[in-house]
Chains A and B, each alone.
Chain A
Amino acid sequence: MSGALLSVENAVVDLPTPRGNLRAVDHVDLTVGAGKTLGIVGESGCGKTMLSRAVLQLLPKKAKLSGRVMFDGQDLTTLPAEKLRKLRGRSLAVVFQDPMTSLNPVLTIGTQLIETIQEHLELDLAQARQRSIELLTAVGIPAPEQRLTQYPHQLSGGMRQRVAIAVALSCEPKLLIADEPTTALDVTIQAQILDLLAREQQRRHMAMIIITHDLGVVAGRTDEVAVMYAGRVVERAPTPALFKQMRMPYTEALLAALPKLDVPPHTPLPAISGRPPDPTRPLKGCSFSPRCRYSAGRCSTEKPRLSPAETLEHLYACFHPIAAGGRA
C-alpha cells in the first residue's frame, strides 16, 4: 500500500530466555494507512504485544529486532533515541491495558496531562491547562476541572482509561496504538471506551491499531484485521471480507469457539483442542497444524507463506484454506 503511515517490514523479534531463544514476532509485514484502523487479534503469547512494542521501539533491553518499521517516512529502528522520544507521545501515542500502571500514581491527573502537553507542544501553563480540560471533556469525563486535582486511584477503572486516552490524544498523534484497551473493563464500560476511541479517531483523522484477543471488539470498528498465531500473521484482510469468508482454519476456529447468544444453552462449543506451541521450540511446519482439523501432508513439514487469495487484499497462510463460498 502506498502512502502508508506505518509499515512494518519483515519484523522479527527474538527474546533470549533461560529456555532458549523465544521468537516472539516471526517475519511480520503490516501497513496502516493514515486515518485507518487496523485490528490485531490473537491469544496471549501470540506476539501481538511484542509487535506493538517493536513499533514503539519499547522492546525489552534483551530483545533483538530485525526488519524495518517505517513511520511517516522515517525508519524508527535507526532513529536516534532523542528523536524517537520526541516522536513518541507527539505523533505516536499508546493506550495500555491497565491504566493504573500507565498513569503515575503519585501525580495528579492535571500534572500528568499538562506536563505531557507542555513537553511536546509550545503552550504556556494556562493554555495547557485549558487544553487538558478540553481533552477531559472530549473523553467524556464529567467535571473535568475538579478531576485535574485528583490522583489516579481516586477514579474508577473506566475513568482512568479515559484519562489515559486523554493523555494519549493530548498532542494530536497521527497513530494511536491501543493495546487491549478494554480487557480490564466491564462490558458496559468497554462499549463506551470503544465508542470513544472510534469517535476520536474519526474526528482527529488519526490512524489506530487496536490490539485485542476478542474478535467481537474488532468486528465493527476496524478497516482491516490481522490475525496472529505463534508470532506470525496467519490471516489479514479488510474486516468485512474477513468476517464474510475466513480462509485460515485458525481464524474460523477462533470465531467458532466463542460462546454465542443466539445458540441455546448447553450446546457444546466447537473448542480448539490442545494449546499453542511452545514459542521456544518452533515447529517445522505450520504452527497451527497440531490443532488443526484440516491438517494433512506438508502442513507438518513446511511453513505456509502469507499469500493472497482471489482478492489481493485477503492474505492467509494456509495450504488447505477453507474453500471460498462455503465452509468445509
Chain B
Amino acid sequence: MATLELSLDETEATPARRRRRLGMLFWCAIGWMVLVFAVAIFADLLPLPSPTDMDMLERRAPFSAEHWLGTDGLGRDELSRLIYGARISLIVGLCAPMIGVTIGGALGMLAGYFRGRFESFVVGSMDVLLAFPPLILALAVTAYLGQSIFNLTCILGVLGIPAFMRVARAATLTLARREFVIAAQALGATHARILLRELLPNVLLPLIAFFLLGVAVTIVVEGSLSFLGLGVPPPISSWGSMIGEGRESLDVAPRLAFIPAIAMFLTVLSFNLIGDTMRALTDPRQGAL
C-alpha cells in the first residue's frame, strides 16, 4: 500500500475557525438593529400613545415625561410615530429587496448559467429597466394604482431587480467555469440540480451581503419618496414622511425633522456595516480557499 495518508493528524481535528475580530462598530450596529427590530415588532405591546391621536393643544411640545420626544406639528406623539414609522420603513426596506433578490437572483443565475440568447434578453431588459427614471416610474404607478404600502414595496422591489441580477450573474459566471460545476455535469446531474445544489449555496452569500446593502438603500429611497409625498399615505407615519412633515417647522422645531433623520441614518449605517462585514467574511474564502 503506497498510500499512507489514512487519517488526518489529530491535532488538526479542530481546524482553525476563522476567528476574525469583528470590531466594536459591528457589534454597535448589531445592537442598534436589535433595538430597532424589537421596538418595531412589539410596538403594539409597548405603553405608547397612539401615533395618530392628535392633540391640538400640545403642538410641537418639547420633551416631557408624557411625550419623551415631544409632539409633532399636529400634536402627535413623536416617539410613537418614530416607532410605528420604523415598522413601515423596515417592512418596505426588507420586503422590497426580498422581491429583488428572489427575481433578480433567479434571473441572474439562469442568465449566468445558460448564457446565450436568454442572457442577452435578460441583460437587455434589465438595462431598459435601469434606464427608466425611477421617480417617474414611482409617480406613474402610484398615480395609477394609488398610494399604499404594498404598491410602494412592489415599485421599490422591481427597481432593485437589475442590481441583484447583476450580482447573481457575475457570481454565477465565475462559478460556472469552476471545475466542480463541470464535474457535476460530467456526473450527469440535471441543470436544476446543478443550479440548486452546486451554484445556489455559493451565490447565496454574496447575494445576502448585497441584500443588506439593498435594505439600506431601500430605506433611504422609501424615505425620499415619502418625503416627496409619494410614499405611504397619511396618516401612517414612516421616517421619510416624518422628515417631510418636519420640514415645515424646521425653524421652530428642527428636532421634528432631525430625530427621524438620525434614526434613519443609524439604521442605514448599521445595515451597511453588517453588509460590508459579511462581504469581507465571505469574499476571501471564495478566492483563496
Residues of A in contact with B (beta carbons under 8 Å apart): 18-20, 268-269, 271, 273-275, 278, 281
Contact = CB atoms under 8 A, between A and B. Distances in A.
A273 B2 CA distance: 8
A-B pairs with lowest CB-CB distance, top 10: A273-B4, A19-B16, A271-B2, A18-B19, A268-B2, A18-B16, A18-B18, A274-B4, A274-B5, A281-B11
Interface string B1-25: 0101100000110001011100000
A101 B271 CA distance: 36
Nearest to A277: B9
Interface of B: 2, 4-5, 11-12, 16, 18-20
A6 B16 CA distance: 38
A18 B20 contact: yes
17 contacts: A18-B16, A18-B18, A18-B19, A18-B20, A19-B16, A20-B16, A268-B2, A269-B2, A271-B2, A273-B4, A273-B5, A274-B4, A274-B5, A275-B5, A278-B11, A278-B12, A281-B11
A143 to B, nearest CB: 34
Contacts of A18: 16, 18-20
B285 to A, nearest CB: 12
B205 to A, nearest CB: 19
Residue with the highest number of chain A CB atoms closer than 10 Å, among B2, B11, B12, B18? B2
Nearest to B11: A281
A35 B124 CA distance: 61
Contacts of B5: 273-275
| Chain B contact residues: helix, strand, loop or mixed | loop
A274 B3 CA distance: 8
A281 B11 CA distance: 9
B218 to A, nearest CB: 34
A75 B19 CA distance: 38
A278 B4 CA distance: 17
A268 B19 CA distance: 43
Nearest to B16: A19
Contacts of B2: 268-269, 271
A18 B4 CA distance: 29
Nearest to A273: B4
Given A271-B2, A274-B5, 15 more contacts: A18-B16, A18-B18, A18-B19, A18-B20, A19-B16, A20-B16, A268-B2, A269-B2, A273-B4, A273-B5, A274-B4, A275-B5, A278-B11, A278-B12, A281-B11
Contacts of B16: 18-20
Contacts of A268: 2
A204 B6 CA distance: 52
Nearest to B21: A18
Nearest to B15: A19
B135 to A, nearest CB: 38
A274 B18 CA distance: 25
Contacts of A274: 4-5
A268 B2 CA distance: 8
Contacts of A269: 2
Contacts of B12: 278
A269 B5 CA distance: 16
Nearest to A269: B2
Contacts of B19: 18
B8 to A, nearest CB: 10
A19 B18 CA distance: 8
